[in-house]
Structure 1
């Protein structure tokens, strides 16, 4: 059964609210005997101060030692205490602040707002408040703004419940009620499940890594193994602490919420696929190219183009020959890739791509009827597919096909039927990345075999990648989550 504990420094701090069995004083919590069962305990630490080695600090510290999920965590407390560190974290928030507080919008040069569990009464600052809370999960925060030439965040400070006015207490109570219901729901009729797994997906994505039938199969496979799989969206960031693991089934990128979710899950000591390191290594093609080259793995002949180096661009035809394939570093599903047939097309394509990125990948063109895709899970081959080029096109996906992306056919094979050298190279390509779930794309032309890229969240669609293994594909992936979550739980007990 899940248990919610609200810790206050003094009983009087809760005096304005209805009494609750969930509320205890810091002294009561610190003296509480350590439980020996599997009961989940979620702690909201509302102590007056989180000063280092103070009462509030020890509440969070011992909560973590007891295996309780606590807000704020010791990491958050330390990050808020060290201005130099959180100044780096909020860099991007300062840029966004300009549109909420334009020059001349206020006469004052500084002001502050209170944020309760990511919510604020200032409607124009709701997005900023949410992002600050996601970065520094803490019950009550005061964000202070200042303006010199432009508005910026001057400080982020935790605030005590005892300092709130009557109106602020009402706002806090509403936010607490909403947050506790969202994060720590009443015990569900799911105690037959040993673990909870969050599966991040985007129902509005026209080209998701897994279609609806596949997502349903993951849920069913998890249930067979004693794992309850809940589908989350990008708006469910604060729910992560409720789960034992995170499975990302969205197209990942370093600059969007998928990376934040993966980072948060890793900090919470959850099992996570795709892990942040894999996302970092796979989503940027230039990073991945250097990684593969450092391991002396075969790739297409490649040149890195810099925006301010026209000489290198002029040399490309001699270095690679036409046609030349140009790629933006973070494209996916064949997007952000252009083929130049001559010098004029090359010039136009490069100018267009440099509008979006400072570096561009240029590669020799290797035509093949299909690309190999080898699925790898925990350093072992999982599935093998041939993805054929879209009809009349040189890529698997044709994004110019009457406004919608058209893809070529496929053939799914038993892993044992894939050529040995293809499997061997795929395994070598994932070795420096990690032990997660990957999809390795390779081209085979005559005796030549090269790695095109490694995907950290490979496509797993019902009717395609599962065409040979069927439901066993989903059971194997869920089985790996089960193995890792069991190992982590045993480690925590040990």
Structure 2
């Protein structure tokens, strides 16, 4: 379990707030030892933010101790190197428009508002606040606005706790409660958890990589191993540092908050499944095809088609024949994947897919009744399933108007899988990483073809866990603990 510290210049600066044993002066922090190898999160509320001031030294020393401070020393250096203007100049046009829309009826020419851990009472300015807090993660941030031809951010400044008014103290305390709930949460008397794990989920996701029951079983296994779990969402990205690990159970994409949260968690020193490199590598079929070819991983014959090449149709038909499969690089759950049987279909579908991507992957079509899905964790096969094609369809998922159908499945022991299938799965994961993957493989007699490696594979109760049962979740928890201990 991580420890949260709050460092101030004078203890009376914390006087108006909830009394917490983690509050200390900078001098006390220098003497503080803590538990060996314990993760420490530090909120730096020292008064002096200038170069070589007390606040600067607090974050500098925290970094030297491998403690995770807010503000970080990098943020202090942004202020001291006058990088504020560059960040302000880079504010997206859409946010500037939103700012002007929100303040359209305001008669003033200058305004100041405060951010407390990225929050503001001005709901219309929330996205601007999110942008500034992402660039300058500071507990208290003063934002000065000026109206010339339009409203714009003039400058930003680090605020001081001891200068807050009574109403501002209330806002600060409420924001801190949401940002770091550990200060206000009563610790259990009978049991202390050794590890804290965040599980990222979106309850509204149409095709989530897990069922609620599988998450419940995972959390139960974690509790047995002295690991506390908490379900978080996209809005909790600034709380990541209070955890030891992040388990992403939401469909990932590079241009998505899942990737940003994986990056942030990795920077904060968390054990992350799936890590950002795995997301980056697995999310693009063009990348995977090239990677597999370089590492002699068996794949279907494939060809990259470029939007402005005039001979795309002829090259594809000559090399791969018909029918063939066309894929956009970042499709998931069988979306963005089409089979074409004629040259007319090929021309039509290529035109449609080139509207979504400058490059299309064309592959030779191989019929199989099912695809193998081999779950791989840390280079070892974890589970094995056969996913059968949807009824009267050539894919596992059949997407219709407002309805999606999927085929049947069969789960078996890993040692029942043909050796060459397992070998292909392990070889496919090796150049990607050591995280949790789901490898899709077609088997045609003695030949196998790796279709793709998924960085965020489904683990549904009654499907992937059908053979191992609760043992599957125990193995996931054990591997998380191993990764957390390695980070320490």
Aligned to 1:386: 386
CA contact (8 A) 1:111 1:146 kept: yes
Match of 1:362 in 2: 362
Shift of 1:62: 2.5
Contact 2:440 2:450 in 1 (8 A): yes
Partner SS for 1:460: coil
* Displacement of 1:284: 1.5
* 1:230 alignment counterpart: 230
Counterpart position of 1:253: 253
1:420 aligns with 2:411: no
Distance 1:328 1:107 in 2: 51
Aligned to 1:335: 335
Is the 2:249–2:456 contact (alpha carbons within 8 Å) kept by the matching residues of 1? yes
Please give the residue correspondences for 1:97-116 in structure 2 after superposition, counting only pairs within 5 Å.
97-101=95-99, 105=104, 113-116=113-116
* SS of equivalent residue, structure 1 residue 101: helix
- Output one character per residue of 1:451-491: Cα deviation in whole Å (capped at 9) or x when no partner: 111111111111111111111111111111122223333xx
Residues 124-133 or 427-436, more deviating: 124-133
Taking the aligned partners of 2:148 and 2:432, their CA distance within structure 1 comes to 44
Report the Cα distance in structure 1 between the residues aligned to 2:296 and 2:11, rounded to whole angstroms.
64
TM-score normalised according to structure 1 size: 0.87
The answer for the alignment partner of 1:70 in structure 2 is 69
- Aligned positions, number: 486
In the TM superposition, what whole-angstrom CA distance separates every residue of 1:4-42 from its partner, at most 9, and x where no partner exists? 543233567557x35846586644334433234687754
Match status 1:270 vs 2:261: no
Instruction: Give the 5 Å matches for 1:194-233.
Output: 194-233=194-233
> Where in structure 2 are there 5+ consecutive unaligned residues?
none
| Conserved 8 A contact 1:323-1:339 | yes
Alpha-carbon spacing, 1:451–1:78, altered in 2? closer, same or farther (3 Å)? farther
Q: What is the CA deviation profile of residues 351-389 of structure 1, one whole-angstrom value per residue up to 9, with x for unaligned ones? A: 322333332222222221111111111111111111111
Aligned match for 2:92, one of 85, 91, 94: 94
Report the 3-state secondary structure (helix = DSSP H, G, I; strand = E; otherwise coil) of the residue aligned with 1:206: coil
The answer as to 2:277 corresponding to 1:303 is no
Moved more, 1-10 or 273-282: 1-10
Superposed, which structure 2 residues align to 1:90-169 within 5 Å?
94-101=92-99, 105=104, 113-143=113-143, 157-161=157-161, 168=168
Q: 1:164 to 1:36 in 2, by over 3 A?
A: closer
2:373 and 2:385 in contact (8 A); partners too? yes
CA distance in 1, matches of 2:378, 2:214: 20
Checking the alignment, whether the CA contact within 8 Å between 1:80 and 1:86 is kept in structure 2 is no
- The alpha carbon displacement at 1:180 in A equals 3.9
Question: CA offsets, 1:295-341, max 9 Å, x none?
Answer: 13222222223333343245322232222322221111111212222
Relative to the length of structure 2, the TM-score reads 0.88
Q: In 2, Cα distance between the equivalents of 1:389 and 1:56? A: 60
CA 1:77–1:350 in structure 2 vs 1: closer, same or farther (change >3 Å)? farther
Once residues 243 and 275 of structure 2 are traced to their aligned partners in structure 1, the CA distance between those partners, rounded to angstroms, is 15
